[in-house]
């Protein structure tokens, strides 16, 4: 297997393990208009629709990849590139809200300097609130670039932001 093919395969494996992608597919797969609804959920949770997710959806839904990109490029709402290096999605669905997600949103905003729905000036962080990402048992939840953090408290936020700063310092 080529290095490139290995890279795609490992990204697809990672995509299959992403709770937000898997939850969106489970929720909408058998319904009409499922593709657009799933793309909306991915856009909401990630801030954009990554290529490996589009390939995964093509396979899971049996929809040609070209048709997925037709939809992605037709609607201005969808983004193909991340709005920040790290897209922080804080779930404000009911279960997370009841367990204190609002305090997490404020803490993420304070730690990164990004307002909700906006990116930092250096485009390192983008902060957004999303609806239920399908893992209420872990509430309150935040997802950063597809990595899920559960049962969060405000003091955890500082560590997460630090972790991602370090990550980008090592792999700019
Ligand atoms: S409400 Fe946050 S994961 Fe369901």
DSSP 20-57: HHHHHHHHHTTSTTHHHHHHHHHHHHHSS--HHHHHHH
Which pLDDT does position 75 carry in this prediction? 86
For ligand 1, say whether the CB of 139 is within 6 Å of any of its atoms: yes
Element (H, E) at 143: strand 142-144
Residue 137 CA, ligand 1 centroid: distance in Å: 8
pLDDT 10s per residue in the chain (172 long)?
444 445 445 555 556 557 778 888 888 888 888 899 999 888 887 888 999 999 999 999 999 999 999 999 998 889 898 888 999 999 999 999 999 999 999 999 999 999 998 899 999 999 999 888 888 999 999 999 878 999 999 999 999 999 999 999 887 6
Residue 75 CA, ligand 1 centroid: distance in Å: 26
Which pLDDT does position 134 carry in this prediction? 82
Which pLDDT does position 36 carry in this prediction? 93
Dmax (CA) of the chain: 48
**Considering only CA atoms, which of 109, 110, 127 is closest in space to residue 118?**
127
Which pLDDT does position 15 carry in this prediction? 61
For ligand 1, say whether the CB of 38 is within 6 Å of any of its atoms: no
Contacts of 164 (CB under 8 A, 6+ apart): 86, 124, 125, 144, 145
For ligand 1, say whether the CB of 23 is within 6 Å of any of its atoms: no
- Beta strand 86-91 with 125-130 is parallel
Which pLDDT does position 1 carry in this prediction? 45
Which superfamily does CATH assign the domain made up of 86-170 to? Glutaredoxin (3.40.30.10)
For ligand 1, say whether the CB of 141 is within 6 Å of any of its atoms: yes
Terminal alpha carbon distance of the chain: 28
Q: Per-domain residue ranges for the chain?
A: 3-74, 86-170
């Amino acid at each position: 297997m080529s290095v490139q093919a290995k890279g795609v395969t490992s990204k697809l494996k990672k995509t299959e393990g992403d709770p937000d992608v898997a939850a969106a597919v489970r929720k909408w797969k058998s319904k009409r208009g499922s593709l657009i609804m799933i793309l909306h959920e991915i856009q909401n949770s990630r801030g954009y629709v990554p290529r490996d997710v589009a390939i995964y959806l093509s396979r899971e839904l049996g929809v040609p990849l070209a048709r997925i990109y037709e939809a992605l490029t037709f609607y201005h709402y969808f983004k193909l590139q991340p709005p920040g290096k790290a897209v922080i999605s804080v779930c404000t669905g009911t279960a997370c809200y009841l367990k204190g997600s609002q305090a997490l949103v404020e803490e993420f905003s304070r730690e990164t300097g990004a307002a909700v729905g906006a990116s930092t000036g250096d485009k390192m962080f983008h902060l957004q609130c999303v609806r239920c990402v399908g893992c209420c048992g872990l509430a309150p939840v935040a997802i950063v670039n597809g990595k899920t953090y559960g049962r969060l408290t405000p003091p955890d936020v500082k560590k997460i932001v630090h972790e991602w700063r370090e990550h980008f310092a090592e792999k700019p």
